[in-house]
Amino acid sequence: MSQAPEPRKTLDPDQVAFWLARHPDFFVGREGLLQQLQVPHPHIDGAVSLLERLVIDLRQRAETAEGRLEHLLETARHNEAQYRRLRETLLALVEADTRDALAQALATQLSERFNTPAMALWCPATLSDDEPSLPQPPRHVLDQHASARLAALLDGRTSRCAKLSVSDWKCLLPHIKAPRKAGSCAISRLSAGEPLGYLLIASPDADQYRASMDTLFTEYLGDIVARLLIRLAPHE
């Protein structure tokens, strides 16, 4: 009676990979074996030689690296453009010699350099007591009603992006025709040791200023404007 054949032993793939990793010189002198090895093609059915597969992988890595580099360059170009626009904006604000001129310069710069459709600068009446005439749009005297609406939009925060209803647009941007539908806004509380009002940037596009957006830019502008408001306050 013949003996049953012994079960065929197979190598564990992980063990083979581990062994080859510890013996990188295995293929030295066995170049012909490299040419015989066949591996799956990464994109289509069928197999290709190991060398051809390596060429495909290297090409893909090069394309990925090129894409990442282009993304970095595009980001750098965008940041440089933003810096230049912000620099020109700040220079224009510093040159303003009155608070009305400051508000007008800010509105012009935001419109021309950042495509901002609308803005308003709301300041307490105490900042206007010594002025010979009422503030000119886009600067407004902060009354109780506007203060309540602006505080509600901020919802206890220093700055925030939010939806802007048509009624709030009419109340907070009275110098600009209100859209037919709700828009959006970025709002920042102005302060420099004391409450100085609010900076409101708005758009009829409900998605331009989303609640999830960062408000660092608005806060930065608000800090600059607050200090300029103090510097431009009329003296007795």
State the DSSP H helix or E strand holding residue 83, giving kind and residue range, or none if neither: helix 50-94
pLDDT tens column, 183-213: 999 999 999 888 899 999 999 999 999 999 9
Greater pLDDT, 150 or 40: 150
Q: The pTM is what? A: 0.71
**For residue 42, what pLDDT is reported?**
64
Q: How confident is the model at residue 171 (pLDDT cuts 50, 70, 90)?
A: very high
How much of the chain exceeds pLDDT 90, in percent?
63
Residue 193, token pair as written in the block: 């040791």
What is the number of alpha carbons within 13 Å of residue 2 lying toward its C-beta? 3
231, 99 in Cβ contact below 8 A? no
